[in-house]
């Protein structure tokens, strides 16, 4: 496990989990996972984030991969605003509408830190563990080559079905729902 921060005093660094058998001379299975305290830590059923993180850690462990944990909660809007967005979702807005209602982009995440981490680890080529075409595109515009994509489809729960449909229909996630 390695921590990455812009300043040594940073209290919330990005983290790279590196599995045994990691070999940067070949395409590396990589998950770029954005922090989701409600899903990753508290097991929220509103999203599939915690389940995606668990599945990614297993894939990385089995195949000598890397999971990069980016500290960009709530699609980049932060925990407080994410909780405000949850309240708006309870009133009938979907996740995209809630973010824009609060004055944010639907998805404000950036992947520059992940690209820096990949390069720092000597990774030139990845098998990206994702359903998000924006992550694939972000890496394709970088020096890191995307050799392929490993789908990460989690069976929808009753509480997460609408969220996942929104991700598929409005954000282009490759979920096959």
**Residues tagged active-site:** 107, 109
In sequence order, which ranges of the chain are alpha helices (DSSP H)? 49-63, 73-76, 79-90, 95-101, 112-120, 133-140, 161-171
As a whole number of angstroms, the distance between CA 38 and CA 36 comes to 6
**Count of CB atoms situated within 10 Å of the CB of 114:** 28
Of residues 154, 139, 142, 117, the one with CA closest to residue 24: 117
| Residue of 111, 115, 127, 113 whose CA lies nearest to 23 | 127
CB 152 within 8 A of CB 130: yes
């Amino acid at each position: 496990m390695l921590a990455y921060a812009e300043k040594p005093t940073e209290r919330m660094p990005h983290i790279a989990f590196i599995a045994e058998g990691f070999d940067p001379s070949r395409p590396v299975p990589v998950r770029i996972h954005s922090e989701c305290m409600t899903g990753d830590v508290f097991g929220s059923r509103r999203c599939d984030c915690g389940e995606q993180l668990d599945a990614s850690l297993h894939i990385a462990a089995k195949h000598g991969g890397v999971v990069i944990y980016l500290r960009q909660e709530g699609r980049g809007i932060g925990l407080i605003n994410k909780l405000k967005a949850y309240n708006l979702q309870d009133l009938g807005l979907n996740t995209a509408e809630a973010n824009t209602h609060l004055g944010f982009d639907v998805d404000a995440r950036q992947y520059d830190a992940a690209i820096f981490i990949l390069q720092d680890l000597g990774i030139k080529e990845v098998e990206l563990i994702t359903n998000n075409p924006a992550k694939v595109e972000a890496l394709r515009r970088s020096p890191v080559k995307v050799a392929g994509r490993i789908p990460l489809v989690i069976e929808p729960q009753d509480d997460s079905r609408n969220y996942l449909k929104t991700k598929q229909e409005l954000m282009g996630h490759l979920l096959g729902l």
